[in-house]
Amino acid sequence: MQCDCCAIKKLIYQYADHIDRGDLRAVAAMFSHGRIVATDNEGRENQFVGEDAVYDLMSAFTRLYPDNGTPHTKHMTTNVMVELDDDGQTAGSQAYCIVFQALPDFPLQPVIGVRYQDRFEKTETGWRFSRRRMETDLIGDLSRHLLQAI
């Protein structure tokens, strides 16, 4: 049996793997009972609630390349700190993520750094996201990663 903290970390890492594989539907499915909160350039929060809204967000921003259907990225999620709430049914975490990207005409480089502040809830089948708050604090050359500016 997997420990609760390990199960939550697996969700965090699975999110990154789904994006790097270009599986935006799988990313969205992780939020079928949750939401993503993103901060825009002016500090306003935008909420994307549920699977359809998260898919629309991801597909509107993430550039997928026709050669293999991926964004040619590696999301490196680090400094993951999970805290289980006293009720044993909810938890929170925070982590950093640096996204690296490389293409034949775009040398390997970090393109963005974000901080994740997540909330989780435990169900009969395991843990799931209830909220992911994304704060962008480092911005590099996103011209090959995003379809539109953040």
Predicted structure pTM score: 0.93
- For 34-64, the pLDDT digits (tens) are 999 998 767 789 999 999 999 999 999 999 9
- How confident is residue 105, by pLDDT bands cut at 50, 70 and 90? very high
Task: Give the pLDDT of residue 120.
Answer: 98
Q: Please determine, for residue 137, whether its predicted confidence score (pLDDT) is greater than 90.
A: no
Residue 73: partners with Cβ closer than 8 Å, 6 or more residues away:
19, 20, 99, 100, 101, 111, 145
Residue-averaged pLDDT of the chain: 95
Q: Please determine, for residue 149, whether its predicted confidence score (pLDDT) is greater than 80.
A: no
Single out the residue of 69, 140, 136, 66 nearest to residue 101, CA to CA.
140
Task: Give the pLDDT of residue 84.
Answer: 97
Task: Give the pLDDT of residue 7.
Answer: 97
- For 76-94, the pLDDT digits (tens) are 999 999 999 999 999 999 9
Which amino acid type is present at position 77?
Answer: T
